[in-house]
A and B are shown apart, each in its own frame.
Chain A
Amino acid sequence: MVKPWLDVGAIIDGFRLEECLHQGGMATLWRVSSAGTTMPMLMKIPKLAEGEDPAAIVSFEMEQMILPRLSGIHVSKFVAAGDFEVQPYIVMERIPGNTLLRRLPELPLPYAEVVEIGLKIAEALDDLHRQDVIHLDVKPSNIMFRPTGEAVLVDFGLSHHDRMPDLMQEEFRVPFGTAPYISPEQLLGIRNDPRSDLFALGVLLYFFSTGVRPFGESETMGGMRRRLWRDPVPPRRLRPDYPGWLQEVVLRCLEAEPSWRYPTAAQLAFELSHPDQVKLTKRSERLERDPLRTVLRRRFNKDLTKSVIRPATAIQISSAPIVAAAVDLTEGSTELNDALRITAERILATLPSARLACLNVLKLGRIAIDYTLDEQGHNKRIDRLVALRHWAEPLKLETHRLTAHVLEAVDPANAILEFARANHIDHIVIGARKNSLLRNLLGSVSAKVAAEALCTVTVVRAARAGEAGQS
Chain B
Amino acid sequence: MQNVFLGDYVGYGADPEWTVKTVMDLVEKGAMAVRGNHDNAVGNQREQLNVEAQVVMEWTRGELGSTERRFLEELPLVLKDSDRLYVHADASNPKSWRYVTSVEDAARSIIATSAHVTLCGHVHRQALYTMSATGKLTSFTPIAGSAIQLLPGRRWLAVLGSVGQPRDGNPAASYATLDTKRRELTYCRVPYDVEEAAARIRNKRLPTWLADRLLLGK
Contacts and interface: CB of A to CB of B under 8 A. Distances in A.
Interface stretch (B5-13, B90-98, B145-153, B204-212): B145-153
A164 B134 contact: no
B151 A65 contact: yes
Interface in A69-111: 69, 83-85, 88
A84 B146 contact: no
A156 B75 CA distance: 45
Interface string A163-175: 1111101110000
B151 A171 contact: no
B137 interface: yes
Contacts of A140: none
B130 interface: yes
A68 B147 CA distance: 11
Contacts of B148: 65, 163-165
A64 interface: yes
B71 interface: no
Contacts of B140: 164-166
A61 B146 contact: no
Given A57-B132, A163-B146, A170 B138 contact: yes
The number of chain B residues touching the other chain, given as a range, is 20 to 34
A167 B138 contact: yes
A58 interface: yes
B128 interface: yes
Contacts, number: 53
A64 B132 contact: no
A263 to B, nearest CB: 23
Contacts of A167: 130, 132, 138
A133 to B, nearest CB: 12
B46 interface: no
Given A84-B152, A165-B128, A57 B138 contact: no
B154 interface: yes
A54 interface: yes
Contact of B153 (A57, A162, A164): A57
Contacts of A165: 128, 130, 138-140, 148
Given A164-B140, A165-B140, A85 B146 contact: no
A108 to B, nearest CB: 42
Nearest to B144: A163
B152 A54 contact: no
B190 interface: no
Nearest to A164: B148
Contact of B149 (A54, A64, A169): A64
B133 interface: yes
Contacts of B143: 162-163
Nearest to B130: A165
Which of A54, A61, A84, A88: most chain B CB closer than 10 A?
Answer: A61
9 nearest A-B residue pairs (beta carbon): A84-B153, A165-B140, A170-B138, A163-B146, A163-B143, A171-B136, A165-B138, A84-B152, A83-B152
9 contacts: A54-B134, A65-B148, A69-B147, A84-B152, A88-B153, A164-B146, A165-B148, A167-B130, A170-B137
